[in-house]
Structure 1
């Protein structure tokens, strides 16, 4: 593992998602708190990156900045060649619909809509043509092809999360962001979902960013980046669950 030396995450220019010199603070001058300080990050094509850190490390703030929900004090965020930090609210909403697919811990499915309509919702909101064949193919890909006419209440938690993955993929986004996607699932369902996330990268050529507290989930990623007090603490590549857990423990012991 590297610690504050060598190549930092985000040192290449040819990636679809690039964060450069990102800093974000909260509060007035006298009580200003820096949630992120000089963060660089790149998510390469066909790559799977996990971000970990204790509560208060800056994970949520970084995620919110990537989604355009928080504006940074300094730095840039480029998604699909576009710097999103200068966009207005309407443009940011369009960016989220078309360029970033998000999977949440709580699924965020619409109870009154069928599985098919939940999957196609981003297209409908963007005013784009709904390709029923693509919706069906995505549902088959994630393993819920037989549930297209059902509503979320008729599905298990694991099935609902698979629908959320299909919805995230339907616009063919630049980046898939998964925020604690296994947090509400049992071990067996979590394993299935992590395998699905891995295949989304390997087989579908997507770029995935996983935010998690779970070393078991992070071990599926190509690399794990650790945040502490709003700064990069270090990085592991090809690490085991035990190595990741040990690093988290070491991070928590640091003064």
Structure 2
């Protein structure tokens, strides 16, 4: 009789612990948010007129529902020679990503084309991982990696370099009319100066694989590692609690039947 009462009480206690642990598990999902900042540089060489330069950050098609910065497009107005502009995107994350899951973004220029303005066509890929901070349980932490599109070369920042190239003598110069001859002579027009090309970065270009790239993040951005979620161990513990509860209820039922017979 004492053994039956022991199992009944133990089952009730374990059932209470089970429900309490489930509640705590659900509460632990609501962690303190974490805001990640993505700085962007816009450089302009040459004596450019007043122009509005725009950059945009958007989620990749692989994860269209990823949190977005607000605003997702930033503009800067500037004029003059050798301009340097800096903007910054901010994204606040409220939940951690699942183990092995990455959030992928694209950053590109959306500046409108203008005469004599050569815009950088670079596009950057940003990979973000959000996880629980091991040093501060209940708080989120995020790290990211940046690389140019279709390139395996890692980059530490996002930077666009635009060039303003103005033709020095559009009409031939001096008294030379646009037709190309001087009064009393047959001097041909001056050849148009070729537009200098943007120097290309030397190095091997190969297909960009975000999944492999994120595994080789430089130490400056923090260590990216797999986060143990503890889901398997929790399920096993819940199963043990459930089995114990069923046993206690079984013994309790037997005891009730015996009491009824004696009565």
- Sort the TM-score into its range (normalised by shorter chain): under 0.3
Larger strand share, 1 or 2: 2
Larger helix share, 1 or 2: 1
**Highest CA radius of gyration, 1 or 2?**
2
Q: Which has the higher contact order (CA 8 A, sep 6+)?
A: 1
TM-score after normalising by structure 2: 0.24
TM-score after normalising by structure 1: 0.24
